[in-house]
Structure formats: structure tokens, C-alpha cells
Amino acid sequence: MTTTNASVARRLTQHLREGTTDMGEELRVPVSHFVSPQHAARERQVLMRKPLIIGRGSEIPKKGDFITREVLGIPLIVVRKADGGVASYVNICKHRGGRVENAESGTKRFFTCNYHGWSYACESGELRGVPYDEFYTQVNRETHGLNVVRTREWQGFLFANFAGDTEQPIDDWMGPDVTAQLEDLGVAESEIFLHKSFTLDINWKLVLDGAIDVLHPKFLHPDGVGKLIETNTSVWHDYGPHGQSFSPRTKLGDLARAGEEPEAAWKLIGSNLFLYPNASVIAAPDHVEFWTVWPDPVDPGRSTTEIRFLVRPEILDERMEARLNKSWQILEQAASEEDWPMEETIQKNSEAWPHGSYLYGRNEQSCQHLHRQLALDMAEVQN
């Protein structure tokens, strides 16, 4: 653990003993932010200007490997190039808009549209083959390549950036604190143990709220997570657009209240490292949960949540696999039987009564962060 995390352990211990928690200002978020199509369209503009994590480099390990993704409604082909770099192309044929690649993943040198057979190079997205090209007055191979979306790999994550010309290096965008935390968790070296996808009738921000909320475990999960994590004791670190919430596991609570000086270990502290705008890296004792939550491109009341378990390959043996599968069961049960039904109700209620605002208390900095940051960025989009 980093020295930062050692100081977090001390602060959590103090909070536990004194019955306190980190606090900021109160925040009100209009209910319309969860239901308004106009608001959702402006949010989408904000997201389109940010580096977005669309996968892991280990999903395309070798030259010519590709995956297809839909990112904010835009179909992409993400490829591994011969020089080890990565690239993304918009998966829309330059002839008349067919889908150039339909498979979810594979290995190819060319992508061929199966409407009229135009083909494009995996390496560059350039147009290569045009059947019957003597019937077109001019098809310039140079200008009819697939549209390119700038994509980079950092700490094992694949970042796509639709605002290619205005971007900053990912290192700067993430900053030293996020980098140190990801390094501490060994994220760059980790591989995907499992990958699940859930499309739910919930605004994307409510799903992220629920994943980082420190005030609900004992109420919504009294017999599960609520027994493992302390409710309403947390430390919040603001990392600019990103941030990190730390919560004591109940074991840390027991040690702190017994007067012991606990160590800073992930088995005692839960953490949610929020990567603006729509990703979270959640520390578990032996692995990390990596969440991305994607707003539906048109419906504010719908989103798709991708959850991957990332694990360092050297610790993965049969016993660890069994533990990770058990962990997944606990997470899936809490999410699909408790968190998501609650959030679906909130979504329905927000649609039924889209007036007024929801309240985020002084002790709820972790949940407030996304809303505050979006408000800042949306003010810019309006101008």
C-alpha cells in the first residue's frame, strides 16, 4: 500500500473511534438530470470530449486482434497493430453505411463489409478493395478509409477519445494520485478474470451513485455487504475530475474500536477509485472490480454496466478462482437483488415526479463528485 493509504487507514481508525466521517458541503441535484432527454444529450456531448475507457489491452493481445464495441451509440472496431500500438475505427462502411465487422472479436488482416464487399486494412483502416470499382467515377482510396478514433493504452486500459485534436496525454488527465493508486493495485499487470454486461432501466449516474454510496450498506444490504462494510464512515480524496472513496471493512471497525492500530491493507479497507466520467476501480482483497457505466445514446432512463474482475495472473490458482467466483456471486446478488432494483425504482419515481431535487448530504462527498464535475463541464458545453 502507498503512504497515502497508510494515512487513510489512520484517518478511518480515528473516524471509527470518534463516530465521525469526512465531510464537505451539501448538494442538491435536480431530478430532471436523471430523466430529461435534453440534459442527457448535453451530457453525451461532455462524454464525447473525454478520454473513455472502452476495454483492456489484454482483450487484443496480438497483431491483427480486434474487438468491436458500441461507445455512446457509435460502433467501433478496436485493433492491435503490428507495432504493438492500438487503433479504433468507426465500424461504418464508406460505401453506404454497412457494418464492416459484425463479430465481437477475432483476428483479421482486412475487414470486409458483407453488403457489397468493400474491404479495409486492419492496420490502418484504409480502403483496400472495391469490387466493380470501374462503375464509380472516382473512389479515392486515401479519403475513403474508415474514420479513425484516437485510441491509446495506459495501465492496461484502452482509452478512446472522440475529441482527437484537443486531447492531453492520459498521464496528465489521470494525474499522479490516480496513477499511484492503480500501481498499488497492480492494475497494469492484471488480466480479465470475468466480464459481465447488464443493460438496465436506470440512468447511468444512478448506477455510479449506487456503486460509490457509503451511506447505504447496512440499510439496503443488512445481511450481506452491510455486514462487511461500515456504513457512513469514509474518507474522500479529490483528484481533480477523478476521486477516491475509502471505507472501513467491519474487521477494521472491530480492530479500531478495540483500540488496536490496524495496518493499511485492502483486506481491511474498501476503496472505490472513480475515473471520470464513467468508470470505477473498486479494490477487493485479491482483485479489483472494474466498472464502466454507459448511458444509452438516446434514452436517459437506460444504461449498460460492464463489470470486469481484474486479477494478477501470478496469484491465479484453483483456490483463487473459487474465491473470485464466490466474490462474483456476492456482488451479483447484492447488485441484481438489492442495488439495481432500488435504482430502477428511483428511475421510475424520477420519471413519475421529475420536479425538485435530490439531496446529497455533507457526508456524501463520494456520490456528489460526479454531479459536481459534470455541472462544471456542462457549463462549458453550453457556451
Q: What does the binding site for ligand FES look like in residue numbers (CB under 6 A)?
A: 93, 95-98, 113, 115-118
As a whole number of angstroms, the distance between CA 24 and CA 191 comes to 36
CA distance 40 to 255: 45
**Least CB distance from residue 112 to ligand FES, whole Å?**
8
State whether residue 260 is helix, strand or coil.
coil
For ligand FES, the closer CB: 101 or 339:
101
Which contacts (CB < 8 Å, 24+ apart) does range 334-340 have?
Answer: 334/221, 334/224, 334/225, 335/198, 336/198, 338/220, 338/221, 338/224, 339/210, 339/211, 339/220, 340/198, 340/200, 340/202, 340/207, 340/210
Please give the Cα distance from 91 to 245 (Å, whole number).
37
Nearest distance from residue 100's CB to ligand FES, in Å?
7
Q: Which residue has the cell 480486434?
A: 66
Which is closer to ligand FES, CB of 105 or CB of 114?
114
Binding-site residue total for Fe ion (CB under 5 A)?
1
For ligand FES, the closer of residues 93 and 208 by Cβ is 93
Q: Which is nearer to ligand FES, 29 or 113 (CB)?
A: 113
Residue 115 near which of ligand FES, Fe ion, none (CB within 5-8 Å, type-dependent) = ligand FES
Q: What angle do CA 291, 295, 296 make, to 5 degrees?
A: 130
d(C-alpha 331, C-alpha 156), whole Å: 24
Shortest Å distance, C-beta 224 to Fe ion: 9
Q: Give me the least distance between CB of 65 and ligand FES, in Å please.
A: 23
Q: How far is the CB of 99 from ligand FES (least distance, A)?
A: 8
Binding-site member from 339, 343, 364, 377 for Fe ion (CB under 5 A): 339
118 binds, among ligand FES, Fe ion, none (CB under 5 to 8 A by kind): ligand FES
Residues that bind Fe ion (CB under 5 A): 339
